[in-house]
């Protein structure tokens, strides 16, 4: 008997059975609810971000152990600059503490770090932490841990459209030659090769919106929304989300195998 995933249930069934042949290759997560997690404990919002960082560590290892090929984590959006300066500063310092303590574990698990977003706008120390982590894990050929940092899908599309228009202007491409592949290649996810589109997109904390994340790339992703706030998200919750994914019938506009 398999237990169907219930989004209101924090998924305590540790024995959920997964089909090892159908693990989603690219899992993307909108890690949400840190602030509300802290508030419910009468703690400052940043305490939620700190605990959320520990969740990132646990979920990275869990995803890698399950055989996920790419784990994309939405860590900071192009709109998150609207938050109070103290909170933004804390979020900018988090990658520094995260990589300081976690790179040896990443290497041990053969996990390679990648980053997508407008990283040139981050504080110098954040940029350095990210650059060092990418360099230190460069030889790892297991799961890719892809952080979306100062990422926004609309900005990404504008940048991509500008790059395509420049190729046309330079005579390297004709308008007729622009196809879906051209767009795929112009987006930041092109660095993920064959895994550019998420198979499974998870959002925690009960919010059911996309908040400017991977708009083009999720055209046929399976979406899972869970009420669990990110600091409470565990390897078991991840398995429950993947179990839900495995019960979906992905048709891509066609008909299912068992018509």
> Which residues are catalytic, by number?
32, 80
Our CB check for ligand IPE shows the closer of 127 and 211 to be 211
With CA atoms as reference, report the closest residue to 71 among 184, 185, 181, 201. 201
Alpha helices in the chain (DSSP H): 34-40, 45-66, 85-108, 124-136, 153-169, 180-186, 235-246
- Answer yes or no whether residue 227 interacts with ligand IPE by CB under 6 A: no
Our CB check for ligand IPE shows the closer of 64 and 153 to be 153
DSSP letters spanning 70-120: EEEEEEEETTGGGS-HHHHHHHHHHHHHHHHHHHHHHHHTTPEEEEES-GG
Q: Return the one option of Mg ion, ligand IPE, none that residue 34 interacts with (CB less than 5 to 8 A, by type).
A: ligand IPE
Site for Mg ion in 15-44 (CB under 5 A): 32
Q: Residue 250, Cα to own-chain centre: how many angstroms?
A: 21
Q: Residue 110, Cα to own-chain centre: how many angstroms?
A: 18
Q: Are 74 and 146 in contact (CB under 8 A)?
A: no
- Known binder of ligand: residue 154? no
- Answer yes or no whether residue 11 interacts with ligand IPE by CB under 6 A: no
- Known binder of ligand: residue 209? yes
From candidates 80, 114, 119, 182, binder to ligand IPE by CB under 6 A: 80
- Answer yes or no whether residue 75 interacts with ligand IPE by CB under 6 A: yes
- Answer yes or no whether residue 28 interacts with ligand IPE by CB under 6 A: no
Q: How far apart are CA 55 and CA 43, in angstroms?
A: 17
Total length of the chain: 259
Residue with tokens 């409470």: 232
The least distance separating Mg ion from the CB of residue 32, rounded to whole angstroms, comes to 4
Q: Which residues are annotated as a binding site for substrate?
A: 33-37, 45, 49, 77-79, 81, 83, 203, 209-211
Interface residues with ligand IPE (CB under 6 A) are 30-36, 74-77, 80, 91, 205, 207, 209, 211
In the annotated binding site, the residues are 32-37, 45, 49, 77-79, 81, 83, 203, 209-211, 222
Residues contributing to the annotated binding site for Mg(2+) = 32, 222
């Amino acid at each position: 008997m398999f237990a169907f995933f219930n989004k209101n249930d924090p998924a305590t069934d540790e024995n959920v059975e997964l089909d090892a042949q159908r693990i989603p290759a690219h899992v993307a997560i909108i890690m949400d609810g840190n602030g509300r997690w802290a508030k419910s404990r009468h703690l400052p919002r940043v305490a939620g971000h700190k605990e959320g960082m520990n969740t990132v560590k646990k979920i990275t290892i869990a995803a890698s152990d399950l055989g996920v090929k790419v784990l994309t984590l939405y860590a900071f959006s192009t709109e998150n600059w609207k938050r109070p300066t103290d909170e933004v500063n804390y979020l900018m310092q988090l990658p520094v503490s995260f990589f300081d303590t976690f790179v040896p574990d990443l290497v041990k698990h053969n996990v390679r770090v990648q980053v997508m977003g407008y990283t040139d706008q981050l504080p110098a120390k954040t940029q350095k932490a990210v650059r060092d982590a990418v360099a230190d894990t460069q030889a790892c050929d297991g799961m890719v841990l892809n952080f979306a940092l100062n990422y926004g899908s609309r900005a990404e599309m504008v940048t991509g459209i500008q790059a395509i228009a420049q190729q046309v202007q330079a005579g390297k491409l004709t308008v007729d030659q622009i196809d879906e592949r051209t767009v795929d290649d112009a987006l930041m996810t092109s660095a993920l090769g064959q895994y550019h589109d998420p198979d499974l997109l998870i959002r925690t904390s009960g919010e059911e919106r996309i908040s400017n994340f991977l708009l083009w790339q999720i055209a046929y992703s399976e979406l899972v929304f869970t009420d669990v706030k990110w600091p409470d998200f565990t390897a078991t919750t991840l398995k429950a989300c993947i179990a839900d994914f495995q019960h979906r019938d992905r048709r891509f506009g066609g008909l299912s195998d068992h018509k």
